[in-house]
């Protein structure tokens, strides 16, 4: 291992590529280095996977399994009920209810797309709902029928304590058509 730190000479040599110099020892070091790097990368990924991942669930799944899920890191997605939004701007405390929407993209597609699913869910009082509590700024997109994706934990009283809140508005305009059909055709 005496070549660990190359001296002047070896640098000079390495600059000159026309010289072939088979160095098995250094190649072994390279392999060891590669293994160490790879192991470090794998360790980083695995440890971060353990600490930063959440189960992605629907409102219904959470309600069915609420006992075993309490305190676990979860993420869930649902349709926002506009009337339920309560926001204290002074304390930055936000709470609202979200309604069950399917978790599977295919099912959503079959039901007519996300925009329709969200609108139907928000209009159907018989679907499972859950209350979400969040501390922070009220996001611009938080409104009736928006899709909320919340990350956090379920507390003992069944309220979802969100640490992260992501909102998506259905961008497809078909969903907005019903409210506008009073317009007269022709232009």
Partner 1 sequence: MFFFYSGLISFALALLCLLAGIGITLSQLFRQKHTIPVSVKTLSLSAFVLHSLAVLSLLILQLTQDYTNAYVVSVIHEAMPKVLQMTAIWGGQAGSLLIWSWIVNLVLFIALMRKKQALDAWAYLVLAINTVFFAGLSFFVENPFKRVWLLPSDELAEALFAPAKGAHLYGWLDGFGLNPLLRHPGMVIHPPILYLGFALFLPPFALAVSKLIRGEELGDLLVKTRAWLLGAWLFLTAGIALGSWWAYEVLGWGGYWAWDPVETASLLPWLTSTALLHSLFIEKHKQVFRRFNFALALLSWLMTLFAIFITRTGLISSVHAFGESQISAPLGYFMLATLLISIWGMIKRWKDLGSGWAFKSFFTRDSLILYSNILLLGLLVICLYGLLFPMLSEGFGGTAITFDRSFFDRTTTPLFILLVFLMAVCPIIGWSLSAFKKPSKWLWLVLVLPLIGVLATAVFLSKKAIVLAVIFIILLGIVVLVVQSLVDWRDWKRFWHQRARYAAWLVHAGILFIALGVLGMAHFTDRIQGLMIPGDRMPLGQYSVEFLELKQDDSHPEYLRVNAQLKLYKGERFIKELNPGQDVYYERNQWISNPSKHATIRGDHYTLLLEYNAKMGTATIQLIENGMVNFLWLGSILLVLGGVLALSKPATALNEDTPQAEQTPGYPHEA
Do the strands 160-168 and 129-135 form a parallel or antiparallel pair, or are they unpaired? parallel
Shortest Cβ 129–partner 1 spacing (Å) = 20
CB nearer to partner 1: give 126 or 180. Answer: 180
Is residue 174 involved in binding partner 1 (CB under 8 A)?
Answer: yes
Instruction: Tell me 94's DSSP state.
Output: E
Q: Any contact of residue 68 with partner 1 (CB under 8 A)?
A: no
Instruction: Say whether residue 7 binds partner 1 (CB under 8 A).
Output: yes
Q: Please choose, from the candidates 172, 171, 152, the residue with its C-alpha nearest in 3D space to the C-alpha of residue 98.
A: 152
Q: Would you count residue 67 as binding partner 1 (CB under 8 A)?
A: no
Cα 73 from Cα 128, distance rounded (Å): 20
Q: Does 49 bind partner 1 (CB under 8 A)?
A: yes
Phi, psi of 150 (to 5 degrees): -115, 145
Measured from the CB atom, the residue of 3 and 124 that comes closer to partner 1 is 3
Among 32, 35, 39, 41, binds partner 1 (CB under 8 A): 41
Residue 61 or residue 70: which is nearer to partner 1 going by CB? 61
Mode of pairing for the β-strands spanning 129-135 and 86-88: unpaired
Q: Does 184 bind partner 1 (CB under 8 A)?
A: yes
What is the DSSP pairing of strand 93-100 with strand 147-154? unpaired
Single residue of 32, 36, 39, 48 touching partner 1 by CB under 8 A: 48
* CA distances in angstroms from 60 to 13, 48, 116, 187, listed in the order given: 68, 28, 19, 46
Return the number of the residue (72 or 124) whose C-beta is nearest partner 1.
Answer: 72
DSSP-based three-state secondary structure for 111? coil
116 to 135: interface string for partner 1, x by CB under 8 A: --------------------
């Amino acid at each position: 291992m005496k070549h660990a730190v190359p001296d002047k000479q070896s640098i000079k040599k390495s600059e000159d590529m026309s010289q072939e110099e088979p160095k098995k020892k250094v190649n072994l070091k390279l392999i060891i280095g590669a293994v160490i790097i790879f192991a470090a990368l794998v360790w980083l990924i695995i440890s971060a996977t353990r600490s930063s991942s959440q189960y992605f669930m629907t409102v219904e799944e959470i309600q069915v399994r609420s006992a075993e899920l309490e305190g676990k890191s979860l993420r869930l997605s649902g349709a926002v009920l506009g009337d339920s939004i309560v926001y204290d701007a002074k304390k930055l405390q936000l709470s609202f209810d979200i309604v069950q929407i399917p978790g599977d993209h295919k099912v959503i597609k079959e039901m007519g797309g996300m925009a329709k699913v969200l609108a139907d869910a928000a209009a159907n009082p018989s679907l499972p709902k859950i209350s979400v509590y969040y501390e922070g700024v009220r996001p611009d997109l938080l409104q009736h029928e928006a899709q909320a994706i919340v990350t956090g934990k379920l507390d003992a009283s069944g309220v979802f304590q969100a640490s992260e809140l992501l909102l998506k508005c259905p961008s497809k305009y078909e969903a907005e058509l019903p409210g506008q059909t009073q317009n007269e055709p022709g232009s």
